C-alpha cells in the first residue's frame, strides 16, 4: 500500500516538473529537495527513479487520488522558485508632446480605428485599414504622413440592421478592415468584418480603388477575416496566395489555418477538423521563410497534453509547406505538413511566461545563414506571481527546425490523450512532399503532429523582463554601432501607451528611453518599422503616430551621449556634438555595451548636462535667501532614472536627523547651523557630475543675524566651519535664541566650486507658518521637567534641615568646653569662665525638648 501511494506521489512530482520546467531543466534541484519532502521510503523512491517510464502517466483510475498529491508537489515546487532577473527600467521618460522627443500624429475627423498598417515595398507609401475606410498616405523624408487617397468602404443600411438584430453592438457593426496585403505589382487584397459578415475585395495599386473580381464587387471573407473586430488573427501573402489563421464562424468557435486565392493546379487548403489539431487558439503572427518554403504561425492555445491541469495555456509555433496540396484520398484539401511545437519562454528555476502576446521576425545579418533568423516574442504569464509583467524571449530558426525534426507525441483519438510512446516511425511529420505519400503515411501524420520537445529560448535565457507593466506589441531591428558591431534594438509598446526602446548589449537589456505615444490605454493591432525613413508607426484609435527611431541632438555632452548607450548615436569628437553614427565623419565616441564615460570621454573636459550650459567648473552658486525657522526645500532633478542623486555640504554627509531627502528635494529647517552651501550630484555608471549648487543665506534682518565669519564671499574648502566652537553643546532652541553681537555673512564656509549652476535648475522655498518644532518642543519640555525636579529637591532638602534643627540637641560652645573638662577629669575654671564673654545669654544647661543630663555622662 505504501509503495502504491509513493508511486502516485512520484508521478505527481514528475508532472509538476514537466509542467513548469520541461522535466530535465529542474530535475537536479528538485531531486536534491525530494529527500526532505518524500512521503515514502527511500527504497521505493530509488526504484521509481530507476524506472522513469513508470512516472510518465498515472495508474488507471488514480487521477482523483493523485490530485491532492499533485497540489502538494506544486506548492513545494513554488517554494523553491527564486527570481534572478533585474527588471529593466527606462533611462529617460518623455511624456506626450515633450519638446525633446516630438512625435507626429496623423488623424482625420471622419476616420477612426486606424489599426491595420501595411508598408509598400519601396517604403514610400503607408496603407491604413480603418473603420469603413482604407487610406493611402505619403511618407516624407522625416517620417511625417500626408493623405494621398481614401477609399470609403462601409456596409449597407440593410446589413447594419441585420447585424444589430443579431444582438451585436451597433458600434461593432461597421466594417473594420483587418486584412490588408500586397498580392502582386498591380493589386492589393483587403478584408473587413463588414457588419459581422466578412467581405474581401481587390484594390488596384495604380489608382487605389476597389476593383471587382469575376464581375463581383465583394468576395466571401469567411476563413480569411474574423467576424468580430476584436478577435486576433494573422495573414500573409506568398506568391499571390493568402495564408490566414482566424476563426470561420460567427461565434468564433471554429479556428482554422487556411490558404486562399490559389490558381491553376493548386487548390485552397485548410486544417482538418479532427479534434486536437487546434485547442481554442489565439492567433498572433505569421512569417514566411523562403529557404524552407514554409509558413510559420505563432499562437497560444490550451495545452491538452497536460491533462492533469484544467485550462493550462501554452504558446505554439506551427508550420505548413507552401507546396502542400493535400492528400489524394486521405486529407484531401487538408494540410499534410501541419505540425506544431511548444515555445517555452522560461528561465531556470522560474515559472514560465506561457501566454504569447506578439511575435516579430528579425532576419539575419547580410551574408549570414537563414538559420540565424530570430523570432522575438512577448510573453505574459497566467500565474499570479508574474502578474502584470512581461518577458521577451528569442527563438532561433535552427532550434525550431531541430524540434520539428525530432520525435512526436501520439494522440489517442479515443481518449484524446497524448503519449510520448511511438511504436514505429514510418514518416517524418512536417516534411514537405507528404501530399504524395500513401494513406498509411498520411494516417500516421494525422496522429503525430505535436512535437515531443519544446523550443527553448536562444542562449537559454530571457532577453528582457519588464518591471511593473505589460508589453503588447514589438518590432525588432539590427543596428550597426560605431565599432562596427551589430546590436539588436527592440521597440515595445506598453498597455499604458508608452513605446520602449531597448538595446540588447553588454549581457543584458538596456532601455534607452520610453516615449508616450497614446493618450489613453488601448489595444493596438501592430507596430510597423520603416528602416529607410527611420521611424516606427503606431496605429491606434487616436490616429497613426510616427515616432523617430533616435534623437541624438538631445545629448549635449560626451558624457550624456555615452551614458545613453544608444547604438544610433555617437559623440563627434570634431564637431563636439552627439550625432547619428552615419553622420560622424571623424572619430566617433560610443560605448553601447558599458556606457563607460571615464574611459571613452577622458579627452573631453566639457560635460554639459542636457538642457544646461554647464562645464565641469562652476564659478558661483545660486543664492537662496531665507528666514530663520523657515522650511527650506532645494530641488535637484536628473532626467536619467538610472542615476543616483547625492547631496552634500562642504564635502560632508548630511545627517538624516536634520535633513530629509525625497524625490530629488532636500528639505531642512533654516537655523544658523544649516545655512551655507549645498551641492547636488548625480552618479551613473561610475561617473559623477554636479547638477546644481545652492548657497542658503539668511535674509537681511538687523534685529536677528546668525553668527558667522567676517567674509561675505564663499569658496569651497575642506574645512566645514570657521566660527569658533562653543564651550558646550547647545540645544536647537538655545541656538535659535542666541543673539549675535556682530552682523556678518553665513556662519558655514561655502565649498568652492568650479562649476556653473545648471541652467534651468530650480529651487523652491516654502514659508510655512505652521512648521513643526517637535524636536525643540521635546528639548524644552525635558529642561522644564529637570528644573522642576531640581526645585522640588531643594525645597525638600530645606524642609528636612529645618526639621532636624528642631529635634536635635543644641549645645553652646561654653557647655561644650565644660563637658570636655569633665570628661578629662578636670574641674572647670571659674575665672576663665568669668573672663570670657559669651555671645549667648546665660544657659541653664537645659535645652527645649531634651533631658537635663547629657548622654553618656555620669549623674
Q: Is the alpha carbon torsion for 436, 437, 439, 444 positive or negative? A: negative
Looking at residue 544, its pLDDT comes to 95
Query: The C-alpha cell of 338 is what?
Result: 501541419
Looking at residue 107, its pLDDT comes to 93
CA distance 725 to 470: 58
CA distance 768 to 613: 33
Looking at residue 620, its pLDDT comes to 67
Q: Which residues pair with 764 in a beta bridge?
A: 633
Nearest to 143 by CA among 182, 191, 103: 103
pLDDT digits (tens, 9 = 90+) for 610-649: 333 333 444 468 999 999 999 999 999 888 999 999 999 8
Q: How far is CA 685 from CA 418, 483, 562, 577, 841, in A?
A: 52, 20, 10, 21, 97
Buried b (16+ CB within 10 A) or exposed e, 52-88: eeebebbeeebeeebeebbebbbebbeeeeeeeeeeb
Looking at residue 31, its pLDDT comes to 39
Residue boundaries of the structural domains of the chain: 2-79, 622-724+732-776
CA distance 484 to 181: 35
CA distance 242 to 268: 9
Q: Are the beta carbons of 252 and 232 closer than 8 angstroms?
A: no
pLDDT digits (tens, 9 = 90+) for 255-282: 999 999 999 889 999 998 777 899 999 9
Query: The C-alpha cell of 716 is what?
Result: 569651497
Query: The C-alpha cell of 53 is what?
Result: 517510464
Looking at residue 666, its pLDDT comes to 94
Q: Are the beta carbons of 453 and 407 closer than 8 angstroms?
A: yes
CA distance 525 to 539: 7
Cα distance between the two ends of the chain? 110
Looking at residue 577, its pLDDT comes to 93
The string of DSSP letters for 183-207 reads: -SSSEEEEEE-TTTS-EEEEEETTT
Looking at residue 128, its pLDDT comes to 96
Neighbours of 246 (CB within 10 A): 28
Q: Is the alpha carbon torsion for 386, 388, 392, 397 positive or negative? A: positive
Q: Give the homologous superfamily in CATH for domain 622-724+732-776.
A: Immunoglobulins (2.60.40.10)
Q: Which residues of the chain have pLDDT under 50?
A: 1-84, 214-215, 605-619, 704-772, 807-859
Q: Where does residue 484 fall: left (phi above 0), alpha (psi -120 to 50 degrees), or beta otherwise?
A: left
Query: The C-alpha cell of 307 is what?
Result: 491533462
pTM of the model: 0.73
Looking at residue 719, its pLDDT comes to 29
Looking at residue 309, its pLDDT comes to 63
Give the CA-trace dihedral at 296, 299, 304, 306, to 10 degrees: 100
Amino acid at each position: 500500500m505504501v509503495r502504491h501511494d509513493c508511486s502516485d506521489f512520484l508521478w505527481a512530482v514528475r508532472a509538476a516538473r514537466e509542467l513548469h520546467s520541461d522535466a530535465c531543466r529542474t530535475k537536479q534541484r528538485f531531486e536534491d529537495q525530494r529527500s526532505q519532502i518524500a512521503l515514502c521510503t527511500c527504497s521505493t523512491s530509488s526504484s521509481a527513479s530507476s524506472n522513469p517510464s513508470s512516472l510518465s502517466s498515472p495508474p488507471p483510475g488514480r487521477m482523483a487520488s493523485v490530485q491532492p498529491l499533485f497540489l502538494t508537489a506544486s506548492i513545494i515546487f513554488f517554494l523553491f522558485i527564486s527570481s534572478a532577473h533585474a527588471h529593466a527600467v527606462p533611462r529617460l521618460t518623455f511624456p506626450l508632446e515633450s519638446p525633446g522627443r516630438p512625435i507626429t500624429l496623423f488623424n482625420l475627423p471622419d476616420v477612426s480605428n486606424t489599426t491595420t498598417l501595411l508598408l509598400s515595398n519601396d517604403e514610400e507609401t503607408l496603407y491604413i485599414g480603418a473603420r469603413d475606410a482604407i487610406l493611402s498616405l505619403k511618407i516624407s523624408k522625416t517620417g511625417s504622413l500626408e493623405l494621398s487617397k481614401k477609399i470609403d468602404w462601409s456596409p449597407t443600411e440593410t446589413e447594419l440592421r441585420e447585424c444589430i438584430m443579431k444582438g451585436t453592438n451597433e458600434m461593432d457593426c461597421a466594417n473594420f478592415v483587418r486584412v490588408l496585403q500586397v498580392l502582386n505589382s498591380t493589386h492589393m487584397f483587403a478584408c473587413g468584418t463588414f457588419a459581422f459578415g466578412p467581405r474581401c475585395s481587390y484594390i488596384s495599386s495604380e489608382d487605389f480603388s476597389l476593383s471587382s473580381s469575376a464581375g463581383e464587387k465583394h468576395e466571401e471573407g469567411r476563413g480569411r477575416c474574423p467576424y468580430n473586430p476584436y478577435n486576433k488573427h494573422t495573414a500573409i501573402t506568398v506568391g499571390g496566395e493568402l495564408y490566414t489563421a482566424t476563426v470561420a464562424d460567427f461565434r468564433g468557435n471554429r479556428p482554422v489555418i487556411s490558404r486562399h486565392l490559389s490558381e491553376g493546379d493548386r487548390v485552397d487548403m485548410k486544417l482538418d477538423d479532427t479534434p486536437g489539431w487546434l485547442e481554442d487558439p489565439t492567433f498572433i503572427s505569421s512569417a514566411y521563410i523562403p529557404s524552407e518554403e514554409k509558413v510559420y504561425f505563432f499562437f497560444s492555445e490550451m495545452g491538452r497534453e497536460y491533462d492533469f491541469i484544467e485550462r493550462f495555456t501554452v504558446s505554439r509555433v506551427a508550420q505548413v509547406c507552401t507546396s502542400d496540396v493535400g492528400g489524394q484520398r486521405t486529407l484531401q484539401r487538408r494540410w499534410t505538413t501541419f505540425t506544431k511545437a511548444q515555445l517555452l519562454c522560461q528561465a531556470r528555476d522560474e515559472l514560465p511566461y506561457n501566454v504569447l502576446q506578439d511575435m516579430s521576425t528579425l532576419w539575419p545579418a547580410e551574408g549570414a545563414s537563414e538559420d540565424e533568423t530570430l523570432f522575438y516574442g512577448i510573453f505574459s504569464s497566467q500565474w499570479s506571481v508574474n502578474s502584470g509583467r512581461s518577458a521577451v524571449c528569442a527563438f532561433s530558426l535552427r532550434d525550431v527546425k531541430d524540434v520539428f525534426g525530432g520525435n512526436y507525441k501520439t494522440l489517442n483519438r479515443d481518449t484524446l490523450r497524448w503519449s510520448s510512446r511511438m511504436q514505429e516511425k514510418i514518416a517524418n511529420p512536417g516534411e514537405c512532399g507528404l501530399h504524395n505519400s500513401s494513406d498509411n503515411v498520411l494516417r500516421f501524420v494525422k496522429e503525430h503532429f505535436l512535437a515531443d520537445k519544446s523550443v527553448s529560448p536562444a542562449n537559454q535565457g530571457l532577453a528582457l523582463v519588464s518591471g511593473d507593466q505589460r508589453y503588447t506589441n514589438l518590432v525588432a531591428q539590427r543596428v550597426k554601432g560605431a565599432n562596427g558591431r551589430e546590436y539588436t534594438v527592440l521597440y515595445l509598446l506598453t498597455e499604458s501607451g508608452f513605446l520602449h526602446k531597448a538595446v540588447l548589449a553588454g549581457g543584458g537589456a538596456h532601455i534607452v528611453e520610453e516615449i508616450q505615444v497614446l493618450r489613453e490605454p488601448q489595444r493596438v493591432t501592430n507596430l510597423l518599422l520603416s528602416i529607410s525613413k527611420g521611424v516606427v508607426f503606431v496605429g491606434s484609435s487616436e490616429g497613426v503616430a510616427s515616432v523617430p527611431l533616435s534623437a541624438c541632438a538631445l545629448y549635449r555632452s560626451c558624457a550624456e551621449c555615452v551614458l545613453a548607450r544608444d547604438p544610433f548615436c555617437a559623440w563627434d569628437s570634431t564637431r563636439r556634438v552627439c550625432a547619428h553614427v552615419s553622420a560622424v565623419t571623424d572619430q566617433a565616441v560610443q560605448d553601447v555595451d558599458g556606457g563607460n564615460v571615464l574611459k571613452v570621454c577622458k579627452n573631453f573636459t566639457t560635460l554639459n548636462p542636457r538642457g544646461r550650459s554647464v562645464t565641469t567648473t562652476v564659478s558661483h552658486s545660486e543664492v537662496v535667501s531665507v528666514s530663520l525657522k523657515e522650511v527650506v526645500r532645494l530641488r535637484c532633478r536628473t532626467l536619467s532614472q538610472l542615476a543616483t542623486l547625492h547631496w552634500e555640504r562642504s564635502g560632508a554627509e548630511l545627517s538624516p536627523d536634520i535633513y530629509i531627502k525625497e524625490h530629488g528635494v532636500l528639505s531642512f529647517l533654516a537655523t544658523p547651523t544649516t545655512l551655507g552651501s549645498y551641492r547636488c550630484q548625480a552618479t551613473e555608471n561610475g561617473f559623477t557630475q554636479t547638477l546644481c549648487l545652492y548657497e542658503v543665506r539668511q535674509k537681511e534682518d538687523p534685529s536677528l543675524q546668525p553668527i558667522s565669519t567676517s567674509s561675505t564671499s564663499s569658496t569651497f574648502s575642506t574645512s566645514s566651519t570657521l566660527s569658533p566652537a562653543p564651550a558646550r553643546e547647545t540645544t536647537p532652541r538655545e541656538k535659535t535664541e542666541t543673539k549675535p553681537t556682530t552682523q556678518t555673512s553665513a556662519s558655514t564656509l561655502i565649498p568652492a566650486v568650479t562649476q556653473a549652476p545648471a541652467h534651468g535648475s530650480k529651487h523652491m522655498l516654502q514659508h510655512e507658518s505652521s512648521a513643526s518644532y517637535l524636536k525643540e518642543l521635546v528639548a524644552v519640555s525635558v529642561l522644564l521637567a529637570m528644573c522642576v525636579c531640581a526645585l522640588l529637591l531643594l525645597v525638600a532638602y530645606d524642609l528636612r534641615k529645618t526639621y532636624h534643627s528642631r529635634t536635635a540637641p543644641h549645645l553652646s560652645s561654653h557647655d561644650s568646653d565644660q563637658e570636655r573638662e569633665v570628661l578629662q577629669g578636670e574641674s572647670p575654671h571659674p575665672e576663665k569662665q568669668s573672663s570670657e564673654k559669651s555671645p549667648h545669654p546665660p544657659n541653664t544647661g537645659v535645652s527645649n525638648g531634651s533631658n537635663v543630663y547629657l548622654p553618656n555622662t555620669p549623674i
